[in-house]
Structure 1
Amino acid sequence: MPPILLLTTYLLIFLSPPKNEKTYPIGQIKTDKGEILFWLYDETPNHKSSFMKLANEGYWDTLTFNRVINNFVAQGGCPDTPAGFADSPYLLKPEFRPNIRHVYGAVGAGRDNNPQMLSAGCQFYIVQNKKGEHRLDNKFTVFGQVFKGMDVVDAIVAVKTDSTDTPLTPIKLDVNVLNLTAVELKKQGYSIK
C-alpha cells in the first residue's frame, strides 16, 4: 500500500470521531454580556424536558432577564408581575430533590405564591449569591447547574435597574439546547461523573 494511502486510512480510522457517541443536553443562554452553559438534571425530568421544549421552540428568544438582583438571582422568561405568571404556557408540579440545592450557579424555575408551589414553565433564574439561597430549597425546583459563565451572571446582576429590579437596558435572551459529547463538555470545563 502506498504510504500516502496508508496515512489517509490511518487518519480516517483513528482520528475520526466515533459514530453514535453519547451526547448530553446542555442549556445555553447567550446574551450581549456573554454565554452561560449549564447542566440539566435527569433527576428533575419534567422541568428538564420543559426547558428543552421551550428552548428548541425559540420561546425565550424575544424575552429578557427581567429581574436581576445582585447577590441573589438573575431571572428571565415570562413577565414577573404581581398578577403571577398568567402568561406562562403551562405550570409544572414541583420536583424537589434533597441532593439538588440552591447553590451558587443553580438554575431554578420561577413561580408565584400558588399553594401547590407549581413552577411557571417559562420562568427561570440563576442563583448568583456565592453562599447560595438555601431559603429557597424545597420551595422552588432547581433543574440545572451553571458550569461555565458565572462571570456573565455576575455582570448581569451588576447592571443598573429600576425600582422593580428590571435592567434599564434590556438584557435579551437567546436560549438553546446544545448536545455535547463528554469530550466536548470537558473542553468547556465540565467532566461527566
Structure 2
Amino acid sequence: MKNSILVFVFSLVLSACSSLKKYDVGQIVTPQGEILVWLHDETPIHKKSFIQLANAGYWDSLTFNRVIPNFVAQAGCPDTPEGFNDPEYLLAPEFNEKLTHTYGAFGAGRDGNPEKLSARCQFYIVQNKQGEHRLDDNYTVYGKVIKGMQVVDAIVNVPTDSLDEPLTPITMDVNILKMSAKDLKKFALDLD
C-alpha cells in the first residue's frame, strides 16, 4: 500500500512539473503583424543558433530582404557574399526527412556552397501553399510557422524592386517567447 501511495505521489509531481515546462518559440514582429515559429528539436544546432541570435537582438531592425509570392519570405543579414560566408555564421546542415519544405516551413538560407552550410543569420519562410520540395535535402528546415501565415502572405505581396527586395523596408523585432504546453495547445502542436 505504501508503495502504491509513493508511486501515485511521484506521478502527480511529474505531471505537475511537465505542465510547468516552458518551450522556446520564435516571435517575429513586423509592421504587418506577428509571426510565431515552433523550433524543431530534431535540428538542435540551428535551434540553438536561432535562440542565441534572437536573445542577442541580432535581427532587430534588420529586414525581409527577399520576398517572392508563391515562394518565400527571406530575412536576416544582408544578402551579400560577406553575410553568407562569414565562418562565424555558418552551420553544418541538419537535413531530416520528416522536416520538409511545406507551406509555413522555416529554414536557414545559404549561398551555393557545396557543403550546403547554412548562413545562421538568414532565415526564410515557405509561402507556396504546395510547398517547395525541390529545396528538401538542400536547405535545412528547422521550424514551422504556428501563427501568422497571413502576415507572411502580406509580406510577400508588397511592391519590390528587380531583386525582390521590398521597396519599403519590412523591419523585424525577433524574440524568444517561453510558452507552456497549455499555451501551445491552441496551435495543434504534438509535444509528446
> In 2, distance between residues paired with 1:173 and 1:28?
10
Alpha-carbon shift at residue 192 of structure 1 (Å): 3.2
**What percent of counterpart residues are identical?**
65
| Post-superposition CA distance 1:151-181 (Å, at most 9, x none) | 0000000000000000000000111111100
Confirm whether residue 31 of structure 1 aligns to residue 34 of structure 2: no
Q: State the distance in 1 between where 2:156 and 2:43 align.
A: 26
| SS of aligned partner of 1:60 | coil
* Counterpart-to-counterpart distance in 2, 1:90 and 1:131: 30
1:121/1:191 Cα in 2 relative to 1: closer, same or farther (>3 Å)?
closer
Cα displacement (A) at 1:191: 3.2
Q: Which residue of 1 aligns with 2:127?
A: 128
Aligned residue number for residue 111 of structure 1: 110
Letter in 2 for 1:145: K
Deviation at 1:62, TM superposition (A): 2.2
Does structure 1 conserve the Cα–Cα contact (< 8 Å) formed by 2:77 and 2:83? no
Q: Give the counterpart letter for 1:191 in structure 2.
A: L
> In structure 1, the residue corresponding to 2:20 is in which secondary structure?
coil
The alpha-carbon deviation at position 90 of structure 1 amounts to 1.7
Corresponding residue for residue 169 of structure 1 = 168
Query: Could you state the TM-score of these two structures normalised by the residue count of structure 2?
Result: 0.86
1:95 equivalent in structure 2 = 94
Between 171-180 and 82-91, report the one with greater CA deviation: 82-91
CA distance in structure 1 between the partners assigned to 2:143 and 2:89 by the alignment: 19
Deviation of 1:88 (Å): 7.1
AA aligned opposite 2:40? Y
- The alignment status of 1:57 with 2:56, answered yes or no, reads yes
Moved more, 141-150 or 85-94: 85-94
Q: Does the 8 Å contact 2:104/2:125 carry over to 1?
A: yes
Aligned residues: 175
Structure 1 residue runs without a partner (length 5+): 1-17
TM-score under structure 1 length normalisation: 0.86
**Distance in 1 between the 2:87 and 2:155 partners?**
23
C-alpha contact 2:118 2:139 (8 A) present in aligned 1? yes
Query: Contact 1:78–1:87 at 8 Å: present in 2 too?
Result: no
Given that 1:27 and 1:38 are in contact with CA atoms closer than 8 Å, whether structure 2 keeps it comes out as yes
